[in-house]
């Protein structure tokens, strides 16, 4: 398979309609889902020639919160990965560890946190957190992540409730019976009834506020990254609450439809924080040139979700690794052809027209 779209087509042929639709679809009319991908086309590269760059010195390494990864393409949090392949989150963790990049594990993981940590030994792992109505259970999730060796908490801030997803409603989508919310189930008597939107509304705290961020800081010493910030106003407010990173994201087009594409929101957030915290983005990345454009606009790294899920569905851990390798190698080619020696956004030259 030659590109991410090939993996998507193959994965959709293997998955049942309901699961395939659940992974690929977005909220409402899918406008933001489409825009996330299409928006990259507006940004044109401005290559420099005759740079005399020794190819052996092309450097894709970058540091995230002080930890080095081999290339700036990381894995976004995605729940219930066991519904697309039996290896699930453990398979994704193995792929990330082999390639030395970062994986963010979802609170809705279908594999126990300790098993994912074990599978991903040697790789950088962060834990994505939903603040639950049960604050003690939320704290226990954080402590479990700390004990397992996760290096940061990624707090999702754009989901006070689940959005309306017409495709899932038409399909009457429910999680397959073999899939559980392993992290939460391990720490409580909570039972998953299979209905995803009910799950979110029944357990997630809809009253999330900046005070909640302060509460999270009070229960962990790990770096905190806010996922779901799209505006300068929220980015500036975030700086007042002892956070270390912002992941510019619209939840892959699965929450509020009609918002800015993630790549379009990125420059506003970067300008607002002025280097005081690290900024990343996810949403719509499908090829190496997309990665380079995001880096040129100020992202320290990009995170990808659906492409890795397609790879996992095709071949388990091997497929997830193939997709990440594909994006890594495409990024390297884009850097070479642009005359760009480093992928570190602090060193990147002007490569956008």
Strand-pairing partners, residue 229, are 248
Annotate 162-197 with DSSP letters as a single string: ----HHHHHHT----TT---HHHHHHS-----S-HH
User: How far, in Å, are 1, 57, 343 from residue 8 at the CA level?
Assistant: 10, 33, 27
Q: If you ran DSSP here, which 8-state letter would residue 319 be given?
A: H
Burial 291-322 (b: 16+ CB within 10 A, else e): bbbbbbbbbbbbbbbbbbbbbbbbbbbebbbb
> Angle CA(142)–CA(144)–CA(149) in degrees, nearest 5?
95
- By the 8 A CB rule, do 171 and 18 touch? yes
Residue matched to tokens 């509020």: 256
Does 18 qualify as catalytic in the annotation? no
User: How far, in Å, are 67, 188, 268 from residue 174 at the CA level?
Assistant: 38, 21, 37
Count the residues in the chain.
353
Structure tokens at 141: 């999730």
Is 127 strand, coil or helix? strand
Strand-pairing partners, residue 45, are 352
Q: If you ran DSSP here, which 8-state letter would residue 42 be given?
A: G
Strand-pairing partners, residue 105, are 127
Structure tokens at 125: 């792992």
Task: Exactly one of 86, 197, 241, 251 is catalytic; name it.
Answer: 251
Q: If you ran DSSP here, which 8-state letter would residue 158 be given?
A: S
> Angle CA(268)–CA(232)–CA(282) in degrees, nearest 5?
60
Sort strands 245-248 and 224-229 into parallel, antiparallel or unpaired: parallel
Between CA 224 and CA 322 the distance in angstroms is 30
- Give catalytic residue positions: 251
């Amino acid at each position: 398979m030659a590109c991410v779209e090939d993996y998507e087509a193959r994965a959709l042929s293997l998955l049942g309609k309901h699961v395939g639709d659940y992974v690929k679809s977005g909220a409402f009319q899918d406008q933001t889902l489409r825009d996330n991908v299409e928006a990259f086309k507006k940004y044109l590269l401005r290559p420099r020639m005759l740079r005399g760059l020794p190819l052996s010195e092309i450097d894709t390494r970058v540091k995230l919160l002080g930890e080095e990864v081999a290339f700036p393409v990381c894995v976004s949090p995605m729940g219930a990965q066991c519904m697309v392949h039996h290896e699930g989150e453990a398979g994704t963790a193995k792929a990330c560890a082999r390639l030395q990049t970062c994986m963010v594990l979802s609170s809705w993981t279908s594999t126990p946190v300790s098993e994912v940590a074990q599978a991903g030994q040697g790789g950088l792992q962060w834990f994505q957190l939903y603040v639950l109505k049960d604050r003690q259970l939320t704290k226990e999730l954080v402590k479990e992540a700390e004990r397992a060796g996760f290096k940061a908490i990624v707090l999702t801030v754009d989901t006070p409730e689940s959005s309306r997803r017409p495709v899932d409603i038409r399909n009457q989508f429910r999680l397959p019976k073999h899939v559980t919310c392993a992290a939460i189930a391990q720490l409580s008597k909570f039972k998953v009834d299979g209905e995803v939107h009910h799950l979110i509304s029944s357990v997630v705290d809809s009253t999330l506020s900046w005070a909640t961020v302060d509460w999270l800081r009070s229960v962990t010493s790990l770096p905190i990254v806010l996922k779901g910030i799209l505006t300068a106003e929220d980015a500036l407010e975030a700086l007042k609450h002892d956070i270390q990173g912002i992941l510019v994201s619209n939840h892959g087009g699965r929450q509020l439809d009609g918002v800015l594409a993630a790549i379009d929101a990125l420059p506003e957030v970067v300008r607002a924080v002025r280097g005081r915290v690290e900024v990343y983005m996810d949403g719509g990345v499908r090829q190496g040139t997309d990665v380079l454009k995001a880096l040129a606009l100020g992202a320290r790294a990009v995170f990808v979700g659906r492409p890795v899920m397609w790879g996992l569905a095709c071949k388990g851990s091997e497929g997830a690794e193939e997709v990440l390798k594909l994006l890594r190698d495409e990024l390297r080619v884009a850097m070479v052809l642009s005359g760009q020696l480093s992928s570190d956004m602090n060193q990147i030259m002007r490569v956008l027209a």
